[in-house]
A and B are shown apart, each in its own frame.
Chain A
Amino acid sequence: MTASEAPARLRAASYIEDHGRFRGLFGWIFSTDHKRIGILYLVSTLFFFFVGMSLGFLMRLQMLSPHGELFKNADYYNALFTLHGVIMIFLFIIPAVPGSLGNFFMPIMIGAKDVAFPRLNLLSWWLYVTGAVIALASLFGSGLPDTGWTFYAPYSLRTHADIPMAVFGVFVLGFSSILTGINFITTMHRMRAPGMGWFQMPLFPWALYATSWVQVLATPVLGITMLLIFVERIFHVGIFNPAMGGDPLLYQHLFWMYSHPAVYIMILPAMGLISEMIPTFAHRTIFGYTAIVWSSMGIALLGSLVWAHHMFTSGLSDAAATVFSLLTFLVAVPSAIKVFNWTATLYKGSIALEPPMLYALSFIFLFSVGGLTGLILGALALNVMLHDTYFVVAHFHYVIFGGAAFAFFGALHYWLPKMFGRMYNRSAAYIGWALLFTGFNLLYFTMFVLGVMGMPRRYAFYLPRFQTPHVIATVGSWIMIAGILVVFTNLIVSVFKGEKAGENPWGGVTLEWQIPSPPPTENFLEPPTIPEKAYDFEGAFAS
């Protein structure tokens, strides 16, 4: 591109050079620039990913032998799975994609200078950090957390662990999530560049739009539930405590009323990322743009109506269970629409198997496995057999790790050259992916088998007949972690030492590829040219 050599463009300081009012670290943690806040989220959520991963590594080590390889005391294992869950869910996967890539790219992709409320955006990050500190401070309270990440009553009302601190942390984290949602919805309503209609918006912003509504409407329900646990513990009122007339089942209802839609807070932005990567590397307009948009909204809506499928064995009425099972089957439809559209985009495309594309294709495969096993769990009869077994663990990790996190890692390979202007080593990226993919399947597919064999989840010790698959899964975890280390070493090295990546290394056609890498503070030095429709590769190549 000749435009990139124009002197005016070279003179504009990138967001990395332009530190704003403060210097050094303060220039980052007090910046209201959406790109700097995106980097803050990226660093902090990845930090917690590595903490969560280390805890998972220890859990797998414990499972190496039936009597516990690490601890003979189940309390430590209880603390491990509780922390692994809380950290991975609330501190990593919920904020990761919207907070980092959403903050960084959504305004650019709709041609805006920033989000609608930049200071609120910074507040969201600070609330995230505050919530994280409070939640982790519970570790040093009266006892190790042992409730699992779901804080089910009545146990959470009885345990010695410092539950009030932990749930208050989660409440603060929820607040952060709500504010991000409000910010993003307002941004997309009000800040789209002239000429960027709703249906010209790329699919990642659309996915964030759907996600944000779920964040705004579902998170408060978790907030109030956590708050109720808090006041029950502190002031001894009785809301969920059966000793005082309360109904613990209502806790589960309220908890899942948020926490099931939360699964879609995790997966929807990831689906948006896939919708960005697939057309770029197939060099072809996305198939069924409108269907993908509406399926995002459909998932957001239907996903809010299926929460009780987590409670089929809790004593729901048959009628309720049947309705929730049916709705669960329905929610598979919009997800399948997306999968078919991505696959159709590949058809007759000119596919470049660059590292991000490998992740995108892995996503389709792994997410399909996760989604279809979700249908198995959604079927009432099978659910009774598989409930609380490793099958659930495997299903969840296929959807959230194989789905959301793979899309996130792929998008890091896709966008890191834009964010920092430097390209990573591709061979290392391929090796990292291969290890990650192999280890992942070895680890989690084995868990499906374990689940069907009858291995219950959250047990620190198990019967000797489960040992062989447990050993296989643990070895898988080592391969997977090796892959993750290769992937992130490669990415981190590239940020500092990589070759210059140029403005548009992949030939993308969305707006972020029209601006320099790394982007200037103002994002657009001249008003962006808005394509007639998103992903117009024919138009882009013709010109």
Chain B
Amino acid sequence: MSDVAAEAVRAGHAHEEHRDYEGAKLGMWLFLFSECMLFGGLFVLYAMYRADHPRAFSAGGGHMDALLGVANTLVLLTGSFAVASSITALQRGRRKLAMGLVGTTILTGVAFMIVKAVEWSGHIRQGYFPHSHLLQGKPGEQLFFSLYYVMTGLHGVHVIAGIAVLTAALVLMARGKVTQEHFVFLENAALYWHLVDIIWIFLLPLFYLAA
């Protein structure tokens, strides 16, 4: 470890551009920790409110379309598999394949967001949103739907950010900036995508399977 660090410092002195694979990964992991804490606050709220209103949360879960939720999970997992494979492909020098796989992940992200939009508009059309007539006088379900929109909404923002980062990786691969030797950007983008994926895996049972 210290040898690598020493080399990194020496390399930093020698060249203008400082490259540190381990450092870049470490930075990304720290960022992911902070993301976990960000969502952690929401999970704490969910736990408290569910403990307060177990029946209402179960009723809220009843309004969810579990099939769509599970389908979306599969979409995300497919994307995760594709982006993980793209790293291996790039490491083996198959740039075209790697780019195709990243493209696939981006498409799954877009598909996920479309399904999500259909779901949200469905809920809103049916009248399930905070302050709606249907939820008047039902504090537990108000909370359930408030948390549903906030948590899946924040998750959606992360999916969009993930799509942006993967698109950037795609552009960098096309321009030869992310290559067989220097693939850490793609790897970090994939790490981020996996985090988005994992958070969804927790959201699925908490909302869709809560009934």
Contacts and interface: CB of A to CB of B under 8 A. Distances in A.
Contacts of B2: 192, 194, 197
Interface stretch (A239-247, A344-352, A446-454): A239-247
A239 B37 contact: no
Interface in A373-405: none
B45 A182 contact: no
A194 B6 contact: yes
Nearest to A215: B34
A231 to B, nearest CB: 6
Interface of B is mostly: helix
A250 B149 contact: no
A238 B42 CA distance: 13
Nearest to A224: B41
Contact of A193 (B9, B48, B138, B143): B9
B147 interface: yes
Given A190-B22, A220-B35, A228-B150, A244 B142 contact: yes
Contacts, number: 134
Interface stretch (B23-31, B93-101, B201-209): B23-31
Interface string B30-54: 1101111111111011001100110
A250 B45 contact: yes
B18 interface: yes
Contacts of B153: 231
B20 interface: yes
A315 to B, nearest CB: 14
A231 B150 contact: yes
B146 A238 contact: yes
Given A114-B12, A237-B150, A244 B130 contact: yes
Contact of A189 (B23, B41, B139): B23
Nearest to B136: A244
B9 A194 contact: yes
B146 A239 contact: yes
A191 B8 contact: yes
B172 to A, nearest CB: 15
Given A112-B9, A194-B2, A237-B130, A218 B44 contact: no
A349 to B, nearest CB: 33
Interface string B88-114: 000000000000000000000000000
B168 interface: no
A365 B22 CA distance: 43
Given A185-B30, A216-B33, A238-B143, A190 B41 contact: no
A221 B41 contact: yes
Contacts of B140: 245
Contacts of A237: 130, 145-146, 149-150
B130 A182 contact: no
A194 B150 CA distance: 48
Contacts of A194: 2, 5-6, 9-10
A117 interface: yes
A190 B34 contact: no
Contacts of A245: 49, 53, 138-140, 142-143
Contacts of B52: 247
A189 B34 CA distance: 18
Given A223-B38, A238-B130, A190 B45 contact: no
Contacts of B53: 245
3 A-B pairs closest in CB distance: A245-B139, A194-B6, A220-B38
29 contacts: A112-B12, A114-B12, A178-B34, A186-B26, A189-B5, A190-B20, A190-B22, A191-B5, A191-B23, A192-B5, A192-B9, A194-B10, A216-B30, A216-B33, A217-B34, A217-B37, A218-B37, A231-B153, A236-B131, A237-B130, A237-B146, A238-B142, A244-B139, A244-B142, A247-B52, A250-B48, A254-B41, A254-B44, A522-B13
